[in-house]
Amino acid sequence: MVNIAETKDLYVEYRTEKGISGEKEIVKAVNGVNLDVNQGEILAIAGESGCGKSTLARALMKLEPIKSGKVLFSGKDISDFTKEELKKFRQKVQMVFQNPFSSLNPKMTILQILSEPLEINTRLNKTEIKQIVLDKIRQVGLSEDILDLYPHEFSGGQRQRIAIARALVMDPEFIIADEPVSALDVSIQAQIINLLKKLKDEFNLTIILITHDMRVIEYLADRVAVMYLGEIVESGKTKEIFNSPKHPYTKALMSSVPKIIDKNKAKIILSGDLPSPTDLPSGCKFHTRCNHCMDICVDNNPDYTYFSDCHQAKCFLYNKCITKEQQ
Ligand code: SF4
């Protein structure tokens, strides 16, 4: 397996203003994340809103300042990129956002929207650019008649197809899709999910899928990393995690989806809201909401326990399991 991107002990923090007092506070959004992304896979990053998954994705794209740690792309630290390398990186890595209406300029036609990245980044002439745009439009299942229309003339699902076509015009290797179906009607979600799967196979794309929807992950992802307050609390192959989730937070996320839950098991209700990333809990960050919390969890942050080569979870319940070093 070729590793296309990785993070090493990554921390991302940013300052924000506290309510009307205007007092500054620090959001600790990503806290020591080590993540490998394999070429050609769909890696899902799962978790509640506010868990740091979108900040992690933005850091991977060099859109967030890194406090410490590294992001490597094809083995090279992205903070060492020259201007030319950064330009190439921006072409290879594209993003698809949650809301296709706000991510498409309403004053531009579809042809203008899709041509823009090619006009800025290549020396292709107008005819060549139009040909690429037409190819991409067809690849996402739309007709070439739409080129002179504006984004508001389309449904949500069609707009997301256009946003995906825009991500494809630069022939990317790597796409970060941030909640790509959560703003769409349920009936349309499956079409966009299937489209992403088809394009991934067709172009050997690597996709990071940011989502809170475990059903989408089960269907689409090869691997899952579950995030809680800026940490990855469990990761592994999708099948392994869905068959045998270990971390209490992963179990709670899964139990909230009727299709996934075992008929004999009740939905796990987490107590309280997600704590603020400006004031992280001590010890295991999940201890304030965990039904299995023990004394040790309050002041100590657990290490990862390995259940297989790539399945790991960060929880004191599995202290007796063998660690990776012992394998
Ligand atoms: Fe719960 Fe303790 Fe495991 Fe954290 S370490 S998830 S608090 S049991």
Q: Which pLDDT tens digit goes with each residue over 64-109?
A: 999 999 999 999 999 999 999 999 999 999 999 888 778 899 999 9
Range of the domain at 281: 3-318
How far apart are the C-alpha atoms of 29 and 109, rounded to whole Å?
37
Classify residue 327: in a domain, yes or no: no
User: Does residue 326 form part of some domain?
Assistant: no
Extract the tokens encoding 237: 């192959």
Give this prediction's pTM: 0.90
Q: Are 227 and 52 in contact (CB under 8 A)?
A: yes
Would 296 be classed as within a structural domain? yes
Mutating to test ligand 1, I would choose from 268, 297, 305, 314 the residue with most ligand atoms within 8 A of its C-beta, which is: 297
Show the tokens assigned to 299.
């002041």
CATH code at 54? 3.40.50.300
- Whether 324 is covered by a domain: the verdict is no
Ligand 1 centroid from CA 317, angstroms = 7
Q: What average pLDDT does this structure show over 10-33? A: 88
Q: If you measure from the C-alpha of residue 238 to the centroid of ligand 1, how many angstroms do you get, rounded to a whole number?
A: 22
Tell whether 323 is covered by a domain: no
d(CA 118, CA 265): 52
| Mean pLDDT value across the chain | 90
Ligand 1 pocket residue status of 268, Cβ below 6 Å: no
Structure confidence by residue, pLDDT tens digits, 218-274: 999 999 999 999 999 999 999 999 999 999 999 999 887 765 555 556 677 787 778
Domain assignment present for 224:
yes
Q: Is 294 in the pocket of ligand 1 (CB under 6 A)?
A: yes
Q: Give the ligand 1 atom nearest the CA of 248.
A: 6
Answer yes or no: is the C-beta of 302 below 6 A from any ligand 1 atom: yes
The structure tokens listed for 238 are 């999708």
Tally of structural domains, the chain = 1
Phi and psi torsions of 75, nearest 5°: 85, -5
Nearest-CA residue for atom 6 of ligand 1: 315
Handedness of CA 102, 51, 34, 183 (dihedral sign): negative
